[in-house]
Each structure stands twice: as structure tokens, then as C-alpha cells.
């Protein structure tokens, strides 16, 4: 029986080895983006950012903004499949005495991870004292209304055909699909077959260092979303750097699987990055040899989170990252991933 036992172990070893090989092949062939392609996309994004800066600076000099900057997975080699999007961060300046940040759990909605931004002192500093008063809805700063201000500027008053022809690109405001939350984005065709989406992301930073982004809650458009993105990204990169680990490779493979498989698209970078961070708390070995085991564990962990209807944010466990998905979406995601557990390679056949 010890013989059959070792035979089984050998077979398991072979299976693992082959999943391991498949994962690395998939990573090199489908997931990873060449440095040249990343460079070209970053270059186009930078050109667009410069145009927007100059335009806003001359046309709306009183708009209370800090310098806009580019950000996202494209800048940390965490983007997958194709270099097709970047975020343009637009930091608003809010007067300290006129605005306060109210955490979602202290509101009637009881939603950790989302915040209201309330206008204060209206009796002494009436509406109009702050540039951003034009975006008040019911006494609160509305991310939707902030996005609309930019939309008017960017799609209404900038001459993109002319700007594009000078830069050698085709630029057009991208129309969000009706299934998407409100977004503002420019589509930049910078090469006959390459397109880049530059997404506007208004940003607020509180005195206590809480970052909020203007990507409203799916149903409650007045709520600002707390961003853990910088801290999460830094943590992943640091952990990998310290032990020469494969967390980012594992994350990128999972991102590519979700990007290429329509049944899994509701799982986004934040869900996956946090699942990897949570797994990193219990698993120490992230050497390259452990990739297949960690990947399989990641899928199993995701099935568990989906079954529980709860995926805590690794940096603030009271935030449930699944809170915007419908029970039906959660069921379907859980089912698809559960079915893949017996044959994880099936996820790579896209």
C-alpha cells in the first residue's frame, strides 16, 4: 500500500507540475504585456494628460484642483493582456473649514468603505464660497455632479479631433455602457490596432489621510468610495520584493482569467488583490515553485468568500468588497469558480 500511496503522490505531483507549467506558459503568452507596449501606452496617456492640464488651466483657472496625475496598474506592471487603460487622478482642493467627511457606517446607509462629504458652515460661508459648491446635492458633495462638470469640459468644449490630429491619435470621449456605473473616459487610438482608455478619477484626501474617489456606489450615487488602492499595491509589491515571491504573478493570472472570461468579469482587480493579500497572511511560501498551489488556493479562497457573501478588505476588514454585487452575481461567480476547482486549467482555456 505504501507503493500505491507513493504512486498517487507521484501522480499528484505530475498534475501539479503540469498545472504549474500551464500557468507559467499562460502568463508569458497571454497575461504579461511587453515593456514596449506598456511604454507606448504610457506615452499616449501622458500626452493626453498634458493637453487636459493645459486646457483646464487656461479655460477654468479658478477650478480648485491640484495637479492631475496618471496612475493605475499600467505604472506597476500589474496590467494584463493588453495595455489598454490608465486612470487620470484629478485631486480636488476642498477648503478645510467648509467640508467634512462622514464615514458610511455613521450614516443611515451603514456602509463601511463609502463616505459622505458634507458642506459645513453654510450660514457664514453661503453657497458659492467654494468652487465645488456647484456640485452640491442636498447639502453633500456629489461625485456624480463632479464628474458631470468634467464631462461638460472634456466632451463639450475640447476639440478632440484637432488635438488628436496634432498628436497623431484618434481621440474620442468614450460612452459608458449602460450597465456601467457613471464614468468619464477618453478613448485614445494611438496606433492602428491599439486603444487606450484614460479614465477620469476625481480624488479627495481628508486631513486624516483618507482617500476618496469619485467612482460612486453602484446604487447610491452620492457616496464617495474609499480608496485603498495605493496601500494595497504597495503592500503586494513590497511583500513580493522581500521574498522574491510570485503574488503579483498569481494576481495577474487571476486578473487575466477574469478579463478573458465573461462569466467572471464582475470580479475586479480590487477583489483579486485583496484575496491575494488575505491569502498572504496565512501562506508563507510564495516561491515560484509554489505558484500552482497558491493559484488553486486563491480560487478556493474566492469560492469561500463568495459562499459567505463576504470578502473583507485586507486593510480594513469592516469593508465588504462584495457589497455592491447582487446575490445572483455572487451565486454565478461562486458557481463558475467552484466548477473550475476540479480542473483549474479550464480557466486558462479562453
Residues of this chain that bind ligand GDP (CB under 6 A): 71-73, 78-79, 85, 87, 201, 213, 215, 227, 229-230, 255, 269-270
Quote the cell numbers at residue 133: 459648491
Q: Is 106 exposed, middle or buried (0-12, 13-18, 19+ CB in 10 A)?
A: exposed
The nearer residue to ligand GDP, 180 or 243, going by C-beta atoms, is 180
All cell numbers assigned to 230 = 495605493
Between the alpha carbon of residue 290 and those of residues 23, 138, 249, the distances in Å are 11, 53, 11
Nearer to ligand GDP, 211 or 340 (CB): 211
Burial of 143 per CB tally in 10 Å (0-12, 13-18, 19+): buried
For ligand GDP, give the closer residue by CB, 215 or 217: 215
Between 32 and 87, name the residue whose CB sits nearer to ligand GDP: 87
132 contacts: CB under 8 Å, gap ≥ 6: 64, 92, 94, 141, 146
Spatial distance between the Cα atoms of 283 and 53, rounded to a whole number of angstroms: 45
* 199 phi and psi angles, rounded to 5 deg: -95, 130
Tell me whether residue 87 or residue 320 sits nearer to ligand GDP (CB atom): 87
Residues 201, 250, 82: CA angle, nearest 5 degrees: 50
Q: Considering the complex, what minimum distance in angstroms separates the CB of residue 67 from ligand GDP?
A: 15
User: Shortest Cβ distance from residue 229 to ligand GDP (Å)?
Assistant: 3
Q: Which is nearer to ligand GDP, 135 or 248 (CB)?
A: 248
In the complex, what is the shortest distance from the CB of residue 185 to ligand GDP, in angstroms, rounded to a whole number?
A: 10
Amino acid at each position: 500500500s505504501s507503493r500505491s500511496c507513493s504512486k498517487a503522490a507521484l501522480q499528484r505531483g505530475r498534475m501539479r507540475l503540469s498545472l504549474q507549467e500551464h500557468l507559467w506558459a499562460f502568463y508569458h503568452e497571454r497575461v504579461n504585456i511587453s515593456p514596449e507596449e506598456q511604454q507606448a501606452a504610457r506615452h499616449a496617456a501622458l500626452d493626453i494628460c498634458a493637453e487636459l492640464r493645459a486646457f483646464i488651466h487656461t479655460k477654468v483657472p479658478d477650478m480648485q484642483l491640484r495637479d492631475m496625475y496618471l496612475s493605475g496598474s499600467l505604472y506597476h506592471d500589474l496590467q494584463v493582456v493588453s495595455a489598454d487603460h490608465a486612470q487620470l487622478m484629478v485631486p480636488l482642493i476642498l477648503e478645510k473649514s467648509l467640508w467634512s467627511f462622514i464615514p458610511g457606517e455613521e450614516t443611515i446607509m451603514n456602509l463601511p468603505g463609502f463616505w459622505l462629504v458634507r458642506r459645513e458652515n453654510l450660514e457664514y460661508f453661503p453657497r458659492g464660497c467654494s468652487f465645488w459648491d456647484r456640485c452640491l446635492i442636498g447639502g453633500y458633495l456629489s461625485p456624480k455632479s463632479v464628474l458631470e462638470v468634467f464631462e461638460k469640459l472634456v466632451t463639450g468644449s475640447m476639440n478632440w479631433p484637432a488635438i488628436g490630429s496634432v498628436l497623431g491619435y484618434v481621440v474620442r470621449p468614450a460612452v459608458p455602457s449602460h450597465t456601467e456605473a457613471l464614468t468619464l473616459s477618453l478613448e485614445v487610438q494611438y496606433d492602428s490596432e491599439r486603444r487606450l482608455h484614460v479614465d477620469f478619477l476625481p480624488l479627495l484626501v481628508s486631513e486624516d489621510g483618507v482617500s476618496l474617489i469619485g467612482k460612486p456606489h453602484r446604487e447610491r450615487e452620492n457616496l464617495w468610495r474609499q480608496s485603498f488602492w495605493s496601500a494595497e499595491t504597495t503592500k503586494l509589491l513590497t511583500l513580493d520584493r522581500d521574498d522574491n515571491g510570485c503574488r503579483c504573478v498569481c494576481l495577474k493570472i487571476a486578473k487575466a482569467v477574469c478579463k478573458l472570461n465573461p462569466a467572471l468579469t464582475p470580479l475586479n482587480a480590487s477583489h483579486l488583490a485583496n484575496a491575494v493579500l488575505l491569502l498572504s497572511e496565512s501562506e508563507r511560501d510564495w516561491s515560484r515553485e509554489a505558484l500552482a498551489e497558491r493559484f488553486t488556493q486563491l480560487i478556493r479562497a474566492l469560492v469561500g468568500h463568495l459562499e459567505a457573501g463576504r470578502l473583507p478588505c485586507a486593510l480594513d476588514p469592516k469593508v465588504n468588497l462584495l457589497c455592491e454585487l447582487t446575490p445572483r452575481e455572487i451565486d454565478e461567480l461562486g458557481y463558475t469558480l467552484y466548477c473550475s476547482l476540479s480542473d483549474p486549467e479550464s480557466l486558462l482555456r479562453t
